Amino acid sequence: MEMSRRRFLEVCGLGALSFASVGVLAGCGSSSDSASSDSATSSGTSTVANKDKPLVWFNRQPSNSSTGELDSAALNFNDKTYYVGFDANQGAEAQGKMVKDYIEKNIATLDRNGDGIIGYVLAIGDVGHNDSIARTRGVRSTLGTGVEKDGKVVSDPIGTNTDGSSSLVQDATMEIGGKTYTIRELASQEMKNSAGATWDAATAGNAIGTWASSFGEQIDLIVSNNDGMGMSMFNAWSKDNKVPTFGYDANNDAVAAIAEGYGGTISQHADIQAYLTLRLLRNSLDGVDINTGISTADDAGNVLAEDTYKYVEAERSYYAMNVAVTAENYTDFTDSTKIYEGASKQLDSSKSPSKKVWLDIYNAADNFLSSTYQPLLQQYDKLLNLTVDYIGGDGQTESNITNRLGNPSEYDAFAINMVKTDNASSYTSLLS
């Protein structure tokens, strides 16, 4: 019998969150993605100790949210533990360069009020998230507005800085066509809602409304740590006012919006990340070389190109590479849920039998994870013969997720996306 909408939300722990906003998080904690398949093909209760089962952290790297120092204990929980994400610093540099290139190419029409100051506002996702910190630093470093403290560019929100007096950022200059322009960060804030959820699109939409009503004529650019917030600001104000907005993630709606004036975004190769997330579990479960189907072709012919990812052994981390998506190439990125062609072949179930995986998404309402990452996972899980239970969190509390890992012995492997990067022990304590 089909689960009612109310019951679906209760099982997912999402309270009053609208069913529509849950999006594709079907099967969120109560059933597997492969609901139509024969459950007898899954492995059932595992006899392997939970502490010895494959574990992949993804999207949020276990680390200290204040210092960025990696949590080596979590990354080395056992010899089958890895992290999958993307090269945050390389992506941050790519976003900053994308914005700078746009300024240089469009300076003739960019200075909206003709004051010689190119003013931008910045939507910060989560002040304690490594990726958010890197993106903020990347933009400030490339544009020259960053201020260093203890050898690192300050990534804190500045509030309002229309007069250029903030001590957290500085005015920069850029010479274009024989004229010198001032580059100024007019305002920035963490987009955190009243319930505590970060990377909040609605908060970003409200913020641009407040900024526009106060100093809108000074805003020449909008930069956002992700497309969810960027698109909210674009739809709320910048589209109608023809102010270019730059995001990150290459979500379908953001890529399509480039044709309508969205400045650009960064593809973090979600297709590669999603594949690696499940492929590492598959290889560990099969007891084969960890790079099977990654750097070396598997029996089906799956393999990744060298320039799409890198592995840092000391961090036990696989990082996908980033690509700028702009008006020049956006038509190549219109479907963010298209799987990587080189990793699209079905594995032989006699060699890679069905196994059961517990996987959580930290926030069921997160645009990138729900509309891009999970649909990719749901295609790869079938190709890799994995039966995955997808758990959707509320984006606020770890317990909303961990409370639904009541019987880890039911699963053969785990893929974890934390709410906060500091909280890896909330999960490993359940497996120890």
Q: What is the dihedral of CA 171, 222, 327, 133, to 10 degrees?
A: 80
| Interhelix angle 88-110/130-143, nearest 10 degrees | 40
pLDDT level of residue 44 (50, 70, 90 thresholds): low
Residue 193 reports pLDDT greater than 90: yes
348 CB burial (10 A radius; 0-12, 13-18, 19+):
exposed
Looking at residue 28, what is its pLDDT? 46
What confidence tens digit (pLDDT) does each residue in 302-356 have? 999 999 999 999 999 999 999 999 999 999 999 999 999 999 999 999 999 999 9
For the segment 222-236, the average pLDDT, to the nearest whole number, is: 98
The whole-number pLDDT of residue 129 equals 87
| Residue 418 and residue 362 in contact, taking contact as beta carbons nearer than 8 Å | yes
Taking alpha carbons only, the member of 261, 251, 244, 277 closest to residue 99 is 244
**Closest of 137, 132, 131 to residue 150, by C-alpha:** 137
Average pLDDT of the chain to the nearest whole number: 90
Q: Cα–chain-centroid distance for residue 23?
A: 16
pLDDT above 90 (res 237): yes
pTM of the model: 0.75
Phi, psi (deg, nearest 5) at residue 48: -75, 140
10 band by pLDDT with thresholds 50, 70 and 90 = very low
User: Residue 42 pLDDT more than 50?
Assistant: no
- The pLDDT value recorded for residue 88 is 86
Q: What pLDDT, on the 0 to 100 scale, is given for residue 45? A: 64
Phi-psi region of 198 (alpha: psi -120 to 50; beta: other; left: phi over 0): beta
